[in-house]
Amino acid sequence: MSQLATEHADAGLIVLAVNVWDEDKRQIERFVRKEKLAQRFLLNGSKVANSYKYPGVPTLLWIDGAGIVKDVECDFGGPASLARRTDQLLRSSGKN
């Protein structure tokens, strides 16, 4: 996800990891530094995650600029699936 966030930043792609367990900010900051992650993190995100009725972790949502969910992946299908689906969303929005 960090790689996609970096590769497609010019196209306006925002990758947001949601902290559904509402862990402490310092704990998340340590994890981000340790893993050298590029995506943004939403702290105290359980309410946001629940509003999208996610089935569990991990769930990936592709949301367009209007806030409409365009695609959902439950579990992680791997980097190739993530890149393919992201490219499709960017193409359909005219960003890529």
Q: Which residues contact 78 (CB under 8 A, 6 or more apart)?
A: none
Number of domains in the chain: 1
Query: What CATH number has the domain bearing residue 46?
Result: 3.40.30.10
Averaged pLDDT, 47-71: 82
Given this model, what pLDDT does residue 96 score? 63
pTM (two decimals): 0.72
Structural domain range at position 60:
2-92
* For range 29-55, the mean pLDDT: 87
Q: Which residue in this structure is represented by tokens 């969910």?
A: 69
Contacts of 22 (CB under 8 A, 6+ apart): 43, 44, 45, 46
